[in-house]
A and B are shown apart, each in its own frame.
Chain A
């Protein structure tokens, strides 16, 4: 039986790594990876707390919802990245400065 503190510490570290990836990276795909890391840290917290709730199973149910949401976010995000790349020939967010063409 692993205590809940272990899960919290691991997910805090993963969250911070994802935050670093979002701010520091110059590549839109790596920024998306950082977002995925943060979502995974949140799912780990859901699951860790959900173990103590057998009546509702809320933790695991909403962890599954979060996985589906992350998959949808990645699909739309990568489509946007490809559309941007077709227009600008770069996926560095620093170089994408116009709202319209």
Chain B
């Protein structure tokens, strides 16, 4: 049952990601990107990371995709240009070149996974032996909060400052320039 659900989410993610890159219409591709992100959040659940999955849905679907759709609608002229000149050259140069590159990279990664043959690193085997792996009954959110506030306090603060700086920078970049 678990494996079947995993395959369902994985195939949903992969198929809709393929559709995202193959569709000509940017608006449809963006809405399909929603489905990819939801399916990826479902995959996170199978790795017992429930808080990460919820954060993925909140941040991506609530924030990032709304921003992307806004940017797409504000630069709307591209839609017409896309529809006009893409259809004539389906197998134009950049398309098959990048397809070749992506498939080559996938082949390298798949070869690496095949050669690996599930030889786990030492820390994984030791943790499996001593039982220090995350189980389904664990209280993930409490543990995450404890670790954020103790062990990972410095990265947490650094990333807070970084997010503040990035958002101020984004607001500064997208302001209306006064014509003087």
Contact = CB atoms under 8 A, between A and B. Distances in A.
Contact of A17 (B94, B102, B123): B102
A96 B132 CA distance: 53
A64 B103 CA distance: 29
A79 to B, nearest CB: 4
Interface residue SS majority, chain A: helix
B52 A63 contact: yes
Shortest beta-carbon contacts, A-B, top 8: A23-B98, A72-B166, A20-B102, A79-B173, A16-B106, A24-B98, A12-B109, A79-B174
A8 B103 CA distance: 16
B110 A75 contact: no
A61 B7 CA distance: 26
Contact of B78 (A36, A37, A49, A90): A90
A76 B113 contact: no
B167 A75 contact: yes
Interface residue SS majority, chain B: helix
Interface of A: 1-10, 12-21, 23-27, 29-30, 32-34, 36-37, 40, 43-44, 47-57, 59-61, 63-65, 67-76, 78-83, 85, 89-92
Contacts of B133: 51-54
Given A7-B47, A57-B143, A71-B64, A23 B13 contact: no
Given A14-B17, A20-B99, A20-B102, 4 more contacts: A5-B118, A17-B17, A30-B21, A63-B49
B147 A57 contact: yes
Contact of A12 (B55, B78, B110, B127): B110
Nearest to B41: A40
B127 A53 contact: yes
30 contacts: A6-B10, A10-B10, A12-B106, A13-B106, A14-B17, A16-B102, A17-B20, A19-B98, A19-B101, A27-B82, A29-B26, A30-B29, A36-B33, A44-B44, A50-B49, A52-B133, A52-B134, A56-B147, A57-B147, A64-B52, A65-B159, A67-B55, A67-B60, A68-B59, A71-B60, A72-B163, A79-B171, A83-B174, A90-B77, A91-B78
